């Protein structure tokens, strides 16, 4: 990659790390969106593998209830892992424009949900019924687009989880999906050595951004940040979804 491209990649990972530090999620989503006009979706997803996995592991061990949460969401996580592995066959076969358009639609829908949906809670019965569905669809979408947000995030947000349990559950789910995505890309021969080295190096700006975001989280209104975040994601998603139509 050219030096200018590397600087932009580092900036994208720093920005994505900030978002993750504030909200507990969004690193691969923001990276895929910001780099979508610069790199192919497959390359962007490959670059995100190491920083995403390591920052998710960090988030995963930030709380003290890993065992109970892993037991509670075990089936969902297993299906997420399996479906993500299977879904990577799409991201390596589809044309870049198709993946970009699909990711744009996913981001726009996710942002619309975040901005417009009213909070709701699922009963334990519906949690058990919908957890496998969430796992399968999240895995399939992650494998095809590289972004693990829908329907996982709305599903977890609808459960009776404390703030700390929600953040740790997101870290657990994202760790599983990012590991499966990396394994799937490697299986299909899509992880190149040079991209892998850049992915390792990109962990530094991502972690620095995450630390900055965690500091920022204590100083700004969560409601304001959430609204600005979803507006930015919506605009980014719409731009990506219409990029193919514009040629």
Calculate mean pLDDT across residues 59-65: 81
Q: What is the pLDDT of residue 100?
A: 82
Q: What is the pLDDT of residue 67?
A: 93
Residue-wise pLDDT for 150-200, tens only, equals 899 899 989 988 878 888 999 899 999 999 999 999 999 888 788 899 999
Q: Is the pLDDT of residue 109 over 90?
A: no
- Could you identify the residue written with the tokens 């619309």? 112
- Residue 40 backbone zone (phi > 0: left; psi -120 to 50: alpha; other: beta): beta
Please indicate whether residue 217 or residue 70 has the higher confidence score (pLDDT): 70
Among 25-39, 69-83, 132-146, name the one with the lowest average pLDDT: 25-39
* Separation between Cα atoms, residue 58 and residue 207, nearest integer Å: 10
pTM for the model stands at 0.86
Calculate mean pLDDT across residues 144-148: 86
Q: What is the pLDDT of residue 14?
A: 97
Mean pLDDT of the chain: 89
Q: What is the pLDDT of residue 149?
A: 85
* Separation between Cα atoms, residue 42 and residue 23, nearest integer Å: 25
Q: Is the pLDDT of residue 247 over 70?
A: no
Instruction: Please give the share of the chain, as a percent, with pLDDT higher than 90.
Output: 45
C-beta neighbour count of 149 within 10 angstroms? 26
Q: What is the pLDDT of residue 246?
A: 65
Please indicate whether residue 63 or residue 39 has the higher confidence score (pLDDT): 39
Q: What is the pLDDT of residue 244?
A: 66
pLDDT band, very low/low/confident/very high, at 62 (cuts 50, 70, 90): confident
Please indicate whether residue 237 or residue 124 has the higher confidence score (pLDDT): 124
Q: What is the pLDDT of residue 54?
A: 92
């Amino acid at each position: 990659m050219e030096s200018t491209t590397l600087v932009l990649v580092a900036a994208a990972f720093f920005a994505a790390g900030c978002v993750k530090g504030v909200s507990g999620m969004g690193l691969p989503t923001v990276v895929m969106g910001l780099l979508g006009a610069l790199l192919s979706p497959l390359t962007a997803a490959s670059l995100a593998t190491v920083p995403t996995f390591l920052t998710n592991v960090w988030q995963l061990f930030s709380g003290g209830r890993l065992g109970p949460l892993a037991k509670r969401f075990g089936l969902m996580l297993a299906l997420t892992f399996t479906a993500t592995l299977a879904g990577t066959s799409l991201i390596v076969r589809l044309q870049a424009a198709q993946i970009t358009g699909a990711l744009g639609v996913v981001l726009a829908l996710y942002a619309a949900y975040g901005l417009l949906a009213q909070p709701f809670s699922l009963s334990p019965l519906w949690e058990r019924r919908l957890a496998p569905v969430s796992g399968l669809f999240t895995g399939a979408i992650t494998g095809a687009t590289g972004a693990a947000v829908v329907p996982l995030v709305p599903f977890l947000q609808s459960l009776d989880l404390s703030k700390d349990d929600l953040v740790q559950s997101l870290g657990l789910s994202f760790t599983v999906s990012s590991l499966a995505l990396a394994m799937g890309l490697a299986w299909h021969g899509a992880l190149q050595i040079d991209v892998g080295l850049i992915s390792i190096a990109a962990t530094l700006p991502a972690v620095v951004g995450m630390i900055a975001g965690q500091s920022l989280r204590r100083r700004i209104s969560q409601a304001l940040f959430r609204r600005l975040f979803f507006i930015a994601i919506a605009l980014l998603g719409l731009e990506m979804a219409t990029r193919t139509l514009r040629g």
